[in-house]
Amino acid sequence: MREAFYFLFLKRHHLNQILQRSEEQIFALAPDEASKKAGKDLANPSKWVSRGINELALWGECQGSGSKPYQTQVDLSAIAFKCSCPSRKFPCKHGLGLLLLESRNPDLFNDAEMPVWVADWINKRGEKEVKKLTAADKPVDEVAQAKRQEARTKKVSEGAVELLVWIKDIIRNGILSLPEKHAAYWDNMARRMVDAQAPGLASMIRELAATHFWKENWQPVFIEKLLQLYLLAESYQHLSQISEILQQDVLSRIGFTINQDELKTQVGIADNWLVLGKTIEAEGPLSVEQNWLYGLGSQRHALILQFYVKGQNLPFSIIPGTKIQAELVFFTSIIPYRAVIKTMGGIAGDMNSPVKGLSGWLEYTNLQCQFSSSLPFHSDIPVVIEKLKPMKMGNDWYLQDEEGYLGRIYPGFEQLWTLMALSGGAPLTMSLIKKDNDHLPIGIWSQHIYQPFK
C-alpha cells in the first residue's frame, strides 16, 4: 500500500491544474449541458455532509434523495472521478459539483486523512500503476512476439487484398447507387477489417458509410476518402518498397500500435502548449478523445489521443483554452503531428498568447497540397489563419480573407452567432480544422486572448 501511495505522489500534477479553476474550465469536463446545470446546483455547502482534501485526493459525501449520501472522489494524480451514484455519465454531476465547490470555497476543505472508501480507491489505482511498471520490467519472449507479429502481418495482408477488390467493385459498378446501400454493406466490410486486425482500415470504411449521401455534391468528398483508403491498402501491399518513415505512417494508419512507454524515453519538445480544442468521437464501444495543441515557442501543432470505454478513468484531462507546460514526444512520420505527453507541469502563465498564422486561404491551399503530396492519407491538422471575417452568401456562411478568397464554414458549426458577436464585422485570427470540404472553427483570438468554441 505504501508503495502505491508513494508512486501516486510522485506522478501527481500541480493542484492548480485541477483546482482553483474558473467555472467555465471546470464545466469543460462535463459530458453534457444537463450535467453542467446539475453540477452548478450541487456546488452548495449545504448539499455536502462531509468533505476533505489532501495531496492525493479530493472527496465529499453528497446528500441525495436516499438515506445514504453519495460518496464522491477525485484522484489528484490525474483528473479521475468516482462516485457511488447510479449515473452512467462521466464525470457525474456530483464530481463536477465537488470540484466547483472547492474552487469557490477552498476554505471549506481542510487537509485531512482520507476515509477508508477514498483510500481503498486511491490505493487500487496506485497498485495498478505499479503492476504496469512491474510488467514492463519483465523480459520479452522475442520468439513468441515474432510469431504473433508474423501472424498479424499475414491477416492484415489478406484483409487488404479483399478490401482492394471491394473498392474496385465500387468503381466498376459506379457510385450513384451507393446511397441506396443498406448499412450492412458497409458494416460487413468494416467487421472484416477488424477480424483482419486492421482497425484503422475499419475506421476509414465507417467514415465512408457516414458520407452525407443526401447532400448535393457528396461525390467528391466520397471519392477523396475512397482513394485514401485505396492508397493505404495498396501501400501496405508494397511496404518494403517505400521509405522507412512512410512505412511508419502506413502501419500507424492501419492500426499497428507503437509502445508509448518506449516513445517517452526519447527526447521531446518542451514548450508552453496552447490547447486549441478537443473532440470526442465514438468508434464502436470505444470513445476517441482528440486534443489539439499548439506550441507557442516551437509553432508546432500536436495531436494527443486518448482511447477509453464509457466510465473509464482517463490518465489526464486538458481543457481547451488553457496553456500547459509539457514535453511532447512525436511519433515518427512524414508529417509529425501526433504526440504523447512525456512530462506535464501545471498551467503556464496567463492566456495572452498571440500567434503567427497563415496569411489567407491561398497559403492554406498550398500547405494542404504539400501535406497531401507527402502523405495522401494524413488526418486533418488544425491551422491558424489570420484576418478572417464571417459573411453570408446565399444559404451558406463563409470566412473571407483579406484578398477576398472564401472558405465555407462547416454547416454543423453550432457557434455561428457567437462568432458573429465576437467578430462584429471585423477580421479575426482563427484556428480551424477541415471537415470534408468545409472548415470548422475551433477557436478565435480576441485581443490576443484565445477563446475556444465548446
**Torsional sign, CA 255, 256, 257, 258:** negative
Q: What is the pLDDT of residues 254-263, one digit of tens each?
A: 989 888 888 8
Output the DSSP codes for 224-272.
HHHHHHHHHHHHHHTGGGS-HHHHHHHHHHHT----HHHHTTS--EEEE
> Rounded CA gap, 304 and 318, in Å?
10
Q: What is the pLDDT of residues 373-388, one digit of tens each?
A: 888 887 778 899 999 9
Say which residue, 427 or 280, is predicted with more confidence. Answer: 427
8 A C-beta contact, residue 135 and residue 127: no
8 A C-beta contact, residue 58 and residue 76: yes
> Is the pLDDT score of 4 beyond 60?
no
The pLDDT value recorded for residue 3 is 43
> Rounded CA gap, 20 and 26, in Å?
9
Cell of 226: 475512397
Of these ranges, 55-69, 135-149, 389-403, the one predicted with the greatest mean pLDDT is 389-403
Q: What is the pLDDT of residues 335-370, one digit of tens each?
A: 999 999 998 876 655 555 668 889 999 999 999 898
Cell of 46: 449545504
Q: Angle CA(253)–CA(259)–CA(264) in degrees, nearest 5?
A: 110
8 A C-beta contact, residue 213 and residue 179: yes
The pLDDT value recorded for residue 347 is 62
Region 386-410: what's the mean pLDDT?
A: 93
The pLDDT value recorded for residue 349 is 54
Per-residue H/E/C for 288-347? EEEEEEEECCCCCEEEEEEEECCCCCCCCCCCCCCEEEEEEEECCCCCCCEEEEEEEEEE
| Residues with Cβ within 8 Å of residue 318, at least 6 apart in sequence | 275, 278, 291, 293, 304, 324
Report residue 439's pLDDT band, with 50, 70 and 90 as the boundaries: very high
| Residues with Cβ within 8 Å of residue 205, at least 6 apart in sequence | 186, 189, 190, 193, 229
Give percent above pLDDT 90 in the chain. 45
> Rounded to the nearest 10 degrees, what angle do helices 199-209 and 183-195 cross at?
170
Domain 260-347 has CATH 2.40.50: yes
Q: What is the pLDDT of residues 289-340, one digit of tens each?
A: 889 999 988 989 999 988 877 656 667 778 888 888 899 999 999 999 999 9
Region 380-409: what's the mean pLDDT?
A: 92
Cell of 420: 458573429
The pLDDT value recorded for residue 348 is 58
Identical topology for domains 260-347 and 361-452 = yes
| Domain boundary assignment for the chain | 2-137, 145-254, 260-347, 361-452
8 A C-beta contact, residue 441 and residue 431: yes
Domain 361-452 has CATH 2.40.50: yes
> Is the pLDDT score of 447 beyond 90?
no
| Residues with Cβ within 8 Å of residue 167, at least 6 apart in sequence | 226, 229, 230, 233
Kindly state the DSSP code that residue 413 receives in the 8-state scheme.
-
8 A C-beta contact, residue 417 and residue 441: no
> Rounded CA gap, 207 and 168, in Å?
18
Least confident of 77-81, 242-246, 394-398: 77-81
- Does the N-terminal peptide bond of residue 91 adopt cis geometry, omega within 30 degrees of 0? yes
Average pLDDT, the chain: 85
Report residue 42's pLDDT band, with 50, 70 and 90 as the boundaries: very high
Burial class of residue 278, CB neighbours in 10 A (0-12, 13-18, 19+): buried
Q: What is the pLDDT of residues 82-120, one digit of tens each?
A: 999 988 787 899 999 998 998 888 888 888 889 999 999
- Look at residues 385, 382, 381, 274 and name the one whose alpha carbon lies nearest to residue 321: 274
Residues in the chain: 454
Region 400-426: what's the mean pLDDT?
A: 91
Which pTM does this prediction carry?
0.68
Query: Kind of pairing, strands 323-330 and 339-347?
Result: antiparallel
Q: Give kind and range of the element (H or E) at residue 128.
A: helix 116-137
